[in-house]
Amino acid sequence: MLNKSYLRRYFIFLVGLVFNGFGVSLITKASLGTSPISSIPYVLSLSFKPTIGEFTIIFSCLLILLQIILLQKKFPLQSLLQFPVSILFGEFIDAGMYILSAFQPDDMLICLLSLLLGCLVLGFGVYLEVIADVVMLPGEAFVKAVNIKFHTEFGSTKMCFDTTMSVIAGLLSFVFTHKHQGVGAGTIIAALLVGYVARQIAKIESLKSVLLNESYLNEVV
């Protein structure tokens, strides 16, 4: 049975997922190129019936299966939690897209503000996931699995992973829509800014103490 400390961490992780989903939605709505991990699901959602959230779930499950293939017996059973987490993440993205359905910015300044706000929201969500320290999202978990299997460095592997996702999304966009959609300057900005925001928030030690403090969350969980 999970103790209160773990329940609080899972609660923080769940809140982080909500922020992540809404952050991805804001970035996507900016129409300047969505985040690297969402680029393939978004491009596919432009040409097929499933939503960006539903394609995110499918893509995430594929990444989990690849982890199992790479790690085999080294794959931790706790990482199977990535399956329900993937479903929640996809649903939160679709919920964010629904909430923002009336938001159709056509002014470059508004699009840029939407992109930057989305990066801030997503960066905060990533920070919450990190301090919760209970389970990783499939994208990061896949990168970690590659590190373990091939003894690579996480940062470099993550950069290669994001770049590969963006290139594949760009190719799929041309194949299915004959246009350049889903990948753009916003993709690069999101790839650079989200991690930066998460790192800057992590420097606020008092915030982590407050969020993980037992007395602060007693009334919430």
* Contacts of 59 by beta carbon, 8 Å cutoff, 6+ apart: 40, 41
The rounded radius of gyration (Å) of the Cα atoms in the chain is 17
Predicted model pTM = 0.88
Q: What is the largest CA-CA distance in the chain?
A: 55
The position carrying tokens 């706000």 is 117
Give me the tens of pLDDT residue by residue for the chain, a chain 221 residues long. Answer: 557 778 888 999 999 999 999 999 999 999 888 888 899 999 999 889 899 999 999 999 999 999 999 999 899 998 999 999 999 999 999 999 999 999 988 899 999 999 999 999 999 999 999 888 888 899 889 999 999 999 888 878 888 888 899 899 989 988 987 777 778 888 888 888 888 888 888 888 788 888 887 544 444 44
Q: Which pair of structure tokens corresponds to residue 59?
A: 């893509």
Q: Which of 103, 79, 82, 93 is nearest to 30 (CA)?
A: 103
Question: Quick one: which H or E segment has residue 92?
Answer: helix 82-99
Q: Which of 52, 91, 63, 57 is nearest to 182 (CA)?
A: 52
Q: Which of 148, 102, 105, 126 is nearest to 21 (CA)?
A: 126
The pLDDT of residue 33 is 85
